[in-house]
Amino acid sequence: MELYCKKPVVVEAIQWTGDNLKEIISFTGLNDSAKRWTWEEYEQVVAKEGLKIFTLEGSLIAPIGWWIIKGIKGEFYPCDPDIFEMTYKKVGE
């Protein structure tokens, strides 16, 4: 068996606090499925159902405290804060 080391990749990420929905949407963009609501209605949907992140594999709910990462192909996905801390370190703004 051969061994491999993951290539170092710099990613953009933002942590979902539950209070920064506008910042998250500014980062990820608003999915077409959410454009049927007013902003106030959308905030209510997210408060009730959770923050839905549309990944390459389908939609996932990002719990409060999780990180939203922009991948190397421009895709977004949620990441558990423990995994994020073990995998990434801050390199700047």
DSSP three-state, residue 77: strand
Neighbouring C-beta atoms of residue 53, cutoff 10 Å:
22
Annotate 81-92 with DSSP letters as a single string.
Answer: HHHHHHH-----
* Domains of the chain, residue spans: 12-87
Q: What is the pLDDT along the chain (93 residues), one digit of tens a residue?
A: 999 888 888 899 999 999 999 999 999 999 999 999 999 999 999 999 999 999 999 999 999 999 999 999 999 999 999 999 999 988 877
* Interacting residues of 49 by C-beta distance below 8 A, sequence separation 6+: 61
* Interacting residues of 51 by C-beta distance below 8 A, sequence separation 6+: 16, 21, 24, 61, 62, 64
